[in-house]
Amino acid sequence: MRLSPWGRVRGLVWGNARGLVRGMVRGKVGGIVTGLLLAPWCAALDYQQSVDLTSAASLLSNPTLSGLPDSAQAADTSANGQLSGYWNLLAFPSAATQVNLRYGWSAQGTVYWPERQQASSTASTADYRLADLDTELWASSTDNLGLYQQLDALSVTWYSPFGEWVLGRQPISFGLAKFYSPIDVMQPIDLVATDRSYRPGVDALRATWFLGPVSSLEAGYVMGVDRALFGRLKAFILAADWQLSAIQINDQYRLAALGVQSGIGALGLWQETAWLSEPGSSDIRVTLGADMTLFEDWYLVSELHYNGLGSAQDYLQNAAGQGFYQIGAVLPLAQWYASVQVSYPINVLTQWSTGATLNLNDNSALFNSALAYSVSDDMTLNVNAVVPVAKSHSYAYEYGIYPSVFSAQLQWVF
């Protein structure tokens, strides 16, 4: 779109304001200079922008884990509040190029009952960013309140005669499965994540070549403290979508996978099979899934997942000896899982869903329920609940160590 004079003036004012505010908050002249330089550049370009504001609150009820001393226990209850805002920008310097930016701030506060020293998390995950902003802008002396920033995306796309090229911070995802995907090994989505569509950006160079109307070849290099090479071939053959993927992380963790998605009448079907290899060991992960719409309104999805890297018992000891767990590439600890989810539109504005994932090795389960209400065309209210069920709260039951989580989120996009 070509900007009107008012659009150019608004872009100039908004750009200067963002740069000045960022410079004042961080106490650096560079932020002010960047804002002054970026604003006229944006005003002279075709661009699209939006802002999404989110207000969220959550209540966690943590179980008392058997076998742990009091000093290692989490607080019985914790409440968290968050107010965040993100600026999303798509700029088009030319007909063949695109710049994508997503930057945001958030204010977060947490209260614990009873008050106790919170144990620091020992969970590790791969770092796929070359460099990053200082996430924490300010924190209270008790660390219960803080102001944070996040650069989620900053990339340039070139639509060339030799394929589509993307350089910079961008979201990258793999897999077809809805719950546990064998192929999703680069920052996989946690089962209890409120927004399972969200992907944090990674620093990468990615190229896509379109081989036909429904087929493509994709290859990329992910840069950072940890590194990854990947390739993916997509094709539509024999009335089915096929995906052949290969991923290598840090020159020692390798994955080769095949995913197929098709259907029989109203029944949708998919499968994913992945072979994972690291020095000294290798195994497979498999997911079989199906979905269908019942009685015109009820949508049902179910999956069976086998995790060859998991164990039927001694979960933590097994995970500690495998590299895929240590870099956060694999999340489920057991071997066999069954998941089901059903959703129903109560009315035009309200969507309800509920489901469960069952660990078939220890019979612990994770139940979830969600209600989404469209307040207006650009505002949505989401209410979620996640409740674990296990015979005991100990490390012998995977979901027995999970907290019960109740959350509400109001999101406004304009």
Distance from C-alpha of 359 to C-alpha of 27, rounded to nearest angstrom: 50
pLDDT of residue 189: 81
> Strand, coil or helix: what is 391?
coil
For residue 40, what pLDDT band results from cuts at 50, 70 and 90?
low
What the block records as the tokens of 224 is 């950072």
Contact 75, 59 (CB under 8 A): no
pLDDT of residue 171: 94
Instruction: Kindly report, residue by residue over 120-140, the tens digit of the pLDDT.
Output: 554 568 999 999 999 999 999
Q: Between 231 and 186, where is the model more confident?
A: 231
- pLDDT over 70 percentage in the chain: 87
> Strand, coil or helix: what is 82?
strand
pLDDT of residue 116: 58
CA neighbor of 303 nearest in space, from 351, 245, 275, 261: 261
- pTM, whole model, 2 decimals? 0.85
Taking residue 413's Cβ as centre, other Cβ atoms within 10 Å add up to 14
Instruction: Kindly report, residue by residue over 256-279, the tens digit of the pLDDT.
Output: 999 999 999 999 999 999 999 999
CA 30, chain centre distance (Å) = 31
Is residue 228 predicted with pLDDT exceeding 80? Answer: yes
Residues in Cβ contact with 28 at an 8 Å cutoff, skipping those fewer than 6 apart: none
**Average confidence (pLDDT) over 42-49:** 79
**Average confidence (pLDDT) over 292-318:** 95
Distance from C-alpha of 260 to C-alpha of 175, rounded to nearest angstrom: 10
Distance from C-alpha of 130 to C-alpha of 123, rounded to nearest angstrom: 21
pLDDT of residue 19: 42
**Average confidence (pLDDT) over 197-203:** 88
